[in-house]
């Protein structure tokens, strides 16, 4: 049984400095830049293995082990960041492609005294979707499962039941997380633990997917199936870099799609690369290059690279007939770049030397014979050996995460 990780006391001081001056440590690539609704929640269980990503909610799940972190690699800010919001989340949006959309926030009128009340959003109207809420029912006396003490880091799994009374399709999702959240992963629970089950939602930031609720023309037939009243597992990884207790809480809205319009069921992309590495203190190395082979014909909908604080670069390529096309290049682990690949979105052209993250623009088509490759450049700035764990500063990962249509990718 694991224990909650404790980060060094200098973490809070470093964070405060970072918020004022834009970062902790040297400014280089080796450091980071400056209610309950229709869902029924269960009780938390202890995390298992190195990942801490299994279980269900109530008694506190604990993951990781005590250790220290080098302040030079601590984030300037660990909290949900902005994104886009919905125009017409059910059947696509009428808004202009590429326009600015304010993230829907502060819809619940909460005044709990904990940071992040503004991230609470209302569920979709009845018949248009449902909300999964992981968090306390009583803010005056919150269950210990939802409280994280100063300096602690924890990954817990929470059980929920989807709010759809009939089998449905969905596509558009809204993710909101209180400050401190590093990731949340919602899966149809099959009891398999970390990486098990079918993922139906994942986020590192408070954001909407697709951005702005705008469904591109080529994706009008996309939908993700979900059986009525499905058992769900929500993995929530939170870091408290403050000097006060914080709440672990998320809200996820799933918006229905007209089943008669769904012609392309979406499939998950989740590849862990290696889980057996051991990166020595001070070591500068690359995890990968990993590869998986495409079967079928289709396209990538969205993609992001999941990694931790010692990874300074996550890169991914589509390989076709010997040509290697970079479609993702991200440098900031604490607010990881998520790219959509549609006819409506022009992504930035990446420039590592200039610190500009980016990747492929337009539709990223995939077909038989293609492969996806990815790797992580890791510089171990700690005094500990980095292994595949959910400890943000004392562990690492190099995981591909995304959604596709029409294809599968075998391999790691």
**Residues 235-278 pLDDT 10s:** 999 999 899 999 999 999 999 999 999 999 998 899 999 999 99
**Residues 288-332 pLDDT 10s:** 999 999 999 999 999 999 999 999 999 999 999 999 999 999 999
Please provide the average confidence, as pLDDT, over all residues in the chain. 78
pLDDT at 61 over 60: no
- pLDDT value for 205: 87
Can you spell out the DSSP letters for 362-400? S-EEEETT-EEEEEEEEE--SSS-BEESS-TTTEE--EE
- pLDDT value for 183: 86
Helix (H/G/I), strand (E/B), else coil: 46: coil
**Residues 321-367 pLDDT 10s:** 999 999 999 999 888 899 999 999 999 999 999 999 999 999 999 99
Q: CA 90 to CA 68: how far, in whole Å?
A: 46
- pLDDT value for 53: 34
- pLDDT value for 333: 87
Residue 155 or 385, more confident: 385
- pLDDT value for 197: 67
Rounded mean pLDDT, 161-172? 95
Q: Which CATH architecture has domain 267-411?
A: Sandwich (2.60)
Tokens of 373: 């490759």
**Residues 185-208 pLDDT 10s:** 899 976 544 445 688 998 888 999
**Residues 119-146 pLDDT 10s:** 999 999 999 999 999 999 999 999 999 9
Q: CA 75 to CA 23: how far, in whole Å?
A: 7
Tell me the domain boundaries of the chain.
5-264, 267-411
- pLDDT value for 16: 34
- pLDDT value for 111: 95
Q: CA 156 to CA 47: how far, in whole Å?
A: 6
Assess contact for 234 and 133: CB atoms under 8 A.
no
**Percent of residues, the chain, with pLDDT higher than 90:** 64
């Amino acid at each position: 049984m694991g224990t909650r990780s404790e980060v060094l006391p200098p973490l809070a001081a470093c964070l405060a400095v970072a918020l004022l001056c834009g970062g902790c440590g040297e400014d280089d690539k080796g450091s980071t830049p400056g209610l309950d609704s229709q869902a029924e929640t269960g009780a938390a269980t202890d995390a298992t293995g190195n990942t801490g990503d299994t279980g269900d909610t109530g008694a506190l799940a604990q993951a990781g082990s005590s250790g220290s972190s080098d302040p030079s690699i601590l984030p300037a800010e660990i909290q949900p960041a902005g994104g886009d919001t919905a125009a017409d989340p059910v059947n696509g949006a009428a808004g202009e492609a590429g326009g600015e959309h304010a993230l829907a926030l502060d819809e619940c009128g909460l005044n709990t005294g904990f940071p992040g009340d503004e991230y609470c959003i209302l569920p979709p109207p009845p018949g248009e979707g449902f909300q999964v809420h992981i968090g306390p029912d009583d803010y005056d006396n919150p269950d210990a499962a939802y409280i994280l003490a100063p300096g602690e880091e924890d990954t817990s799994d929470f059980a929920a039941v989807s709010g759809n009374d009939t089998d449905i399709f969905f596509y558009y999702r809204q993710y909101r997380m209180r400050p401190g959240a590093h990731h949340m992963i919602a899966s149809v629970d099959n009891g398999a633990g970390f990486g098990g089950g079918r993922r139906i939602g994942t986020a590192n930031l408070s954001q909407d997917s697709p951005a702005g609720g705008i469904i591109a023309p080529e994706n009008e037939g996309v939908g993700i199936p979900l059986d009525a009243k499905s058992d769900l597992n929500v993995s929530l990884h939170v870091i408290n870099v403050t000097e006060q207790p914080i709440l672990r809480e998320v809200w996820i809205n799933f918006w229905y799609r007209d089943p008669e319009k769904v012609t392309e069921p979406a499939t998950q992309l989740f590849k862990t690369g290696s889980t057996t590495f051991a990166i020595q203190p001070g070591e500068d190395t690359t995890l990968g290059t990993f590869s998986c082979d495409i079967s079928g014909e289709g396209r990538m909908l969205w993609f992001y690279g999941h990694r931790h604080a010692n990874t300074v670069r996550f890169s991914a390529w589509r390989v076709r007939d010997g040509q290697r096309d970079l479609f993702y290049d991200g440098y900031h682990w604490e607010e990881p770049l998520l790219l959509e690949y549609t006819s409506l979105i022009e992504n930035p052209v990446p420039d590592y030397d200039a610190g500009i993250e980016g990747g492929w623009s337009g539709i990223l088509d995939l077909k038989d014979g293609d492969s996806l490759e990815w790797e992580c450049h890791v510089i171990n700035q700690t005094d500990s050996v980095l292994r595949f764990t959910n400890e943000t500063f004392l562990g690492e990962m190099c995981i591909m995460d995304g959604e596709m249509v029409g294809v599968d990718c075998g391999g790691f």
